[in-house]
């Protein structure tokens, strides 16, 4: 079997890689470099000449070749490699007529625990949506942003004291509303400086938060390690780094209790397997990052099924237009679930594991025409004084 073509499909908020072979078997993957999807698409096409004519089952060799051929990487390039890797594993599963999780070593679990995206542009909306999530059966609420999901066009005005007080007040209200047995996964969007992050962690201890995600900007592993050493609430981070070597440096510094590896930018199944092994050696669990389409969700489910040290996974709303549209309330009415042939069943706080060959999902026909590509708008929120506000 040989690869005959590599195609890029752009649809809605996603970029997909489709690999075709001379035996008629195809593989499907998705890039997770959401801010630079067009650049990632170009990188997929740049890899095309190498892959055509190759045996698609030599996945590790192709991964090493594409990962190491250049002096440069970054999110767009790693997003392309990830999409290609996921497509190769999907193709291999179809060739052997088994789900990808069987090729990765078989099941470690029978279902995958997930948390939802609990959005809120106001404090009242945040609490209401937290209650709704519990009513829908979720045992964990995620993307809980104590600083709200306000439009990026609105300048952020709160000073340090207000940031601490409002965050504590909102999480206290949510904990009271949902009870003691629901896990709260807080998304801080790199909003704080290290000292303020430590203060916030101390104030939120009474509410038994599962983790604080990205309390500071993730660029400095030493600084994240210092914050983690001072916080009694576990730190989750990693969605914005790309390689097993970066994750090893993060873990060596004890900078997190939960690794937020993203299959869409860390090298697909092949990269994520390596990261999971390093995390396991440090007694750390993974919380896979996934703001993408149902294609990525199926890939994550296969990975989680075959990987022991998975704590919980992120589950983007398949009935929304995209994660960004869901969080901001854009008013776009299309549904991601309509882009694919089916989505996994959810029962309460768990998703079923795909049993179809490959990653177990296919795009609908003519997807680019039915769901025109919508690139993300370049927009960063500002503070009231005009400086950058991370959100």
Same domain, residue pair 113 and 48: no
What would the mean pLDDT of 94-118 be, rounded to a whole number?
Answer: 98
Q: Are residues 249 and 261 in the same domain?
A: yes
Of 56, 72, 99, the residue that ends a domain is 99
CA-CA-CA-CA dihedral for 328, 388, 13, 150, to nearest 10: 0
Q: In this structure, is residue 372 part of a structural domain?
A: no
What is the Cα–Cα distance from 99 to 121, expressed in whole angstroms?
A: 39
DSSP for residue 273: H
Pair (319, 340) in one structural domain: yes
- By the 8 A CB rule, do 275 and 286 touch? yes
In the numeric block, the tokens 């937020």 are attached to 260
Number of domains, the chain? 2
Can you read off the two tokens belonging to residue 274? 């390596």
Q: What is the DSSP letter of 17?
A: E
Shared domain for 154 and 218, answered yes or no, is yes
Distance CA 41, CA 29 (A): 12
Q: Quick one: 193 and 288 in the same domain?
A: yes
Q: Which of 47, 74, 99 finishes a domain?
A: 99
Domain for residue 63, yes or no?
yes
- With respect to residue 256, please indicate whether it lies within any of the assigned structural domains: yes
Q: Is residue 201 part of a domain?
A: yes
Token digits of residue 298 = 């199926």
Helix or strand holding residue 236 (H, E): strand 235-237
The predicted pLDDT at position 327 comes to 85
pLDDT value at residue 184 = 98
With respect to residue 235, please indicate whether it lies within any of the assigned structural domains.
yes
Residue 260 DSSP label = -
Per-residue pLDDT reduced to its tens digit, 353-367: 999 999 999 999 999
109 domain-assigned: yes
Residues 224 and 82 in one domain: no
CB-CB contact of 212 with 234 (8 Å): yes
Cα 167 to Cα 380: distance, rounded to the nearest angstrom: 21
Q: Looking at the structure, do residues 14 and 134 belong to the same domain, yes or no?
A: no
Residue linked to tokens 């026909």? 365
13 domain residue, yes or no: yes
Does residue 370 lie within any of the structural domains? no
Question: Using CA atoms, how far apart are residues 259 and 33, in angstroms rounded to an integer?
Answer: 18
**Are residues 235 and 128 both part of a single domain?**
yes
Range of the domain at 25: 3-99
Torsion of CA 287, 215, 221, 231, to 10 degrees: -90
pLDDT value for 101: 98
* pLDDT tens-digit map of 275-320: 999 999 999 999 999 999 999 999 999 999 999 999 999 999 999 9
What CATH code is carried by the domain that includes residue 81? 3.30.390.10
Half-sphere exposure of residue 135, counting CA atoms within 13 Å on the CB side?
Answer: 7
Distance CA 338, CA 79 (A): 24
**Can you tell me the distance from the alpha carbon of 354 to that of 343, in angstroms, rounded to the nearest whole number?**
9
pLDDT of 158 strictly over 90: yes
Provide the 8-state DSSP code for 254: T
What CATH number did the domain enclosing 296 receive?
A: 3.20.20.120
Together in a domain, 89 and 121:
no
pLDDT value, residue 361 = 98
Q: Are residues 226 and 293 in the same domain?
A: yes
On the question of pLDDT at 391 being above 90, the answer is no
- pLDDT at residue number 35: 86
214-253 pLDDT, tens digit each: 999 999 999 999 999 999 999 999 999 999 999 999 999 9
CB 58 within 8 A of CB 240: no
For helices 59-68 and 37-51, angle between their N-to-C axes, nearest 10 degrees: 120
| Residue closest to 305 by CA, chosen among 369, 372, 354 | 354
Sign of torsion, CA 268 269 270 274?
Answer: positive
Whether 70 shows a pLDDT value over 90: the answer reads no
Same domain, 217 and 83: no
pTM to 2 decimals? 0.97
Residue 120 shares a structural domain with residue 9: no
Give dist(CA 182, CA 90) in Å, integer. Answer: 34
- Name residue 8's beta-bridge partners: 17
């Amino acid at each position: 079997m040989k690869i005959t073509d590599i195609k890029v499909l752009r649809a809605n908020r996603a970029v997909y890689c489709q690999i075709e072979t001379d035996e008629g078997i195809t593989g499907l993957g998705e890039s997770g470099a959401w801010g630079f999807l067009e650049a990632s698409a170009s990188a997929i096409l740049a890899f095309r000449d190498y892959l055509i004519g190759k045996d698609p089952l030599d996945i590790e060799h192709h991964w090493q070749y594409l990962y190491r051929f250049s002096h440069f990487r970054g999110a767009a390039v790693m997003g392309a490699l990830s999409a290609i890797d996921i497509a190769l594993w999907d193709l291999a599963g179809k060739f052997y007529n088994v789900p990808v999780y069987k090729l990765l070593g078989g099941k470690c679990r029978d279902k995958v625990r997930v948390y939802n995206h609990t959005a809120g542009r106001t404090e009242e909306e945040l609490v209401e949506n937290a209650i709704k999530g519990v009513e829908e059966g979720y045992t964990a609420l995620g993307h809980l942003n104590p600083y709200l999901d306000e439009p990026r066009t609105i300048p952020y005005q709160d000073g340090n004291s207000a940031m601490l007080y409002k965050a504590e007040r909102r999480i206290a209200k949510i904990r009271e509303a949902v009870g003691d047995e629901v896990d709260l996964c807080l998304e801080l969007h790199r909003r704080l400086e290290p000292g303020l992050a430590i203060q916030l962690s101390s104030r939120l201890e009474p509410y038994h938060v599962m983790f604080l995600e990205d309390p500071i900007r993730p660029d400095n592993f030493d600084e994240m390690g210092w914050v983690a050493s001072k916080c009694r609430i576990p730190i989750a981070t990693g969605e914005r780094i790309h390689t097993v070597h970066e994750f090893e440096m993060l873990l060596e510094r004890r900078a997190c209790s939960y690794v937020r590896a993203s299959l869409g930018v860390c090298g697909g199944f092949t990269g994520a397997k390596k990261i999971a092994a390093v995390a396991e050696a440090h007694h750390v669990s993974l919380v896979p990052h996934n703001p993408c389409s149902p294609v990525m969700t199926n890939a994550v489910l296969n990975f989680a099924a075959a990987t022991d040290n998975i704590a919980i996974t992120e589950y983007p709303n398949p009935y929304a237009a995209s994660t960004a549209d869901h969080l901001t309330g854009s008013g776009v009415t299309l549904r991601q679930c309509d882009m694919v042939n089916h989505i996994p069943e959810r029962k309460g706080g768990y998703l079923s594991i795909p049993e179809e060959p490959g990653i177990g999902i296919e795009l609908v026909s003519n997807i680019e025409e039915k769901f025109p590509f919508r690139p993300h708008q370049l927009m960063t929120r500002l503070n009231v004084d005009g400086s950058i506000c991370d959100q």
